[in-house]
Structure 1
Amino acid sequence: MAFAGNVDELALLQTVRLKETVTAEMIAAHLGVSVASGRAAYDALVTQGKAKETGNGITLTDAGVAELTDQLDAERVSIDEDSLAELFEQFGPLDEELSALLADPESANFLDELIELDRKAQNLFDDVSAFVPRLSRYQDLFAEALGKIKSGALAWATAPNIDSYATVWSEMRAELTGAAGR
């Protein structure tokens, strides 16, 4: 459902929940919209009482969490949970592989192994996005992080304060876990 700044409200609320505190710029980057759209969405959440401002951005209020819960429940009614449960099972080994890989991002074969893991994961995420279209944005975020890693910015592998590969993976894990009813 379109929200202020032409942002999908469910994706927006879930972004704020997963990141806990966000700025308008973070919203824009994470959702792939302009900063003006991110600002409009940010302001609308505050105005509607679904988020409150903190020193570093906004966080969800109880009303925002309730709205998010209602929208996730509505989304899940239309999802084939059995198919998503199968995808969740396929995700487990990839999740373990990434955890092991990220334990030593400075290893000699790190980039090659990450590229191979990404290729396998993207096939799985294509299937996930077919069931939950709003999650397709994560593929762009993975590609952006991987591109930065390839160009030598190793922080984009694991840094917690940006949409690094590890951060995006963690969010996708949370999304997939919820969508699969786990």
Structure 2
Amino acid sequence: MAFAGNVDELALLQTVQLKKQITAEVLAAHLGVSVSAGKAAATALLEQGKVESVGDAIRLTDKGITELKDQLDAERVSIDEESIAELFEQLGPLDDELEALLARSEADGFVDALISLDRKAQNLFDDVSAFVPRLARYQDLFGEALDKIKGGSLAWATAGNIDSYAVVWREMKAELAGAAGS
């Protein structure tokens, strides 16, 4: 559903939930919208009491958590949970491979190995996006992180304070687990 700043409210609430606390600028980058759209969406959520300010960031309130749960439940009614559960199972070996790879992110061949894993994972994420279109944005986030890694910025592989490859993977895994009813 379109929301303030042309942001999908479910994606907005879920992003705030996954990140725990988030600034409007980071929110906008994560959702792929302008900073002004991110600020408008955050302001609307503040006015509705679904988030509260924490310094220059926002986090969900009880009202926001309830709204998010209701919207996720409504989304899941239209999802083939059995197919999503199969995709979640397919993610397991890839997740193990990524974990082992990230543990040696300074090793020779790391970037090539990550690119290879990304190719395999993107096929799975294409299928996920077909079942849950809201999750298609994650593929852009993977691509953005991978481009920065290829450019020599290895922080984009593991850093926890940006939409690094590891952070985006963890969020996609959480989204997929939720969609699968896990």
Which TM-score bucket, shorter chain as reference? over 0.9
Aligned length: 182
Taking every aligned residue pair, what percent have the same amino acid on both sides?
Answer: 74
What amino acid does structure 1 have at the position aligned with 2:160? P
- The runs of at least 4 aligned residues of structure 1 exceeding 3 Å deviation read none
1:32-66 CA-to-partner distances (Å, cap 9, x unmatched) read: 00000000001001000000001140000000000
Residue in structure 1 matched with residue 127 of structure 2 by the alignment:
127
- Which one-letter code corresponds to 1:104 in the other structure? R
Give 1:73-152 correspondences, 5 Å limit.
Answer: 73-152=73-152
Does residue 23 of structure 2 align to residue 18 of structure 1? Answer: no
Rounded to whole Å, the distance in 1 between the matches of 2:156 and 2:169 is 12
Q: Is the 8 A contact 1:21 1:56 kept in 2?
A: no
Deviation at 1:109, TM superposition (A): 1.1
Between the aligned partners of 2:151 and 2:105, the Cα distance in structure 1 is: 14
Alignment correspondent of 2:156: 156
State the SS of the aligned residue for 1:52: strand
Task: Name the residue aligned to 2:48.
Answer: 48
| TM-score of the two chains, using structure 1 as the length reference | 0.99
Mapped to 1, the partners of 2:56 and 2:81 lie a distance apart of 37
Deviation at 1:116, TM superposition (A): 0.3
Structure 1: gaps spanning 5 or more residues: none
Structure 2 gaps, min length 5 = none
Give the whole-Å Cα distance in 2 for the aligned partners of 1:55 and 1:23: 9
Task: Check conservation: 1:87, 1:128, Cα contact below 8 A.
Answer: yes
What code does the residue aligned with 1:93 have? P
* Map of 1:4 onto structure 2: 4
Question: If the length of structure 2 is used for normalisation, what is the TM-score?
Answer: 0.99
Rounded to whole Å, the distance in 2 between the matches of 1:120 and 1:56 is 38
Query: Structure 2: which amino acid aligns with 1:82?
Result: E
User: Residue 105 of structure 1 aligns to a residue in which SS?
Assistant: coil
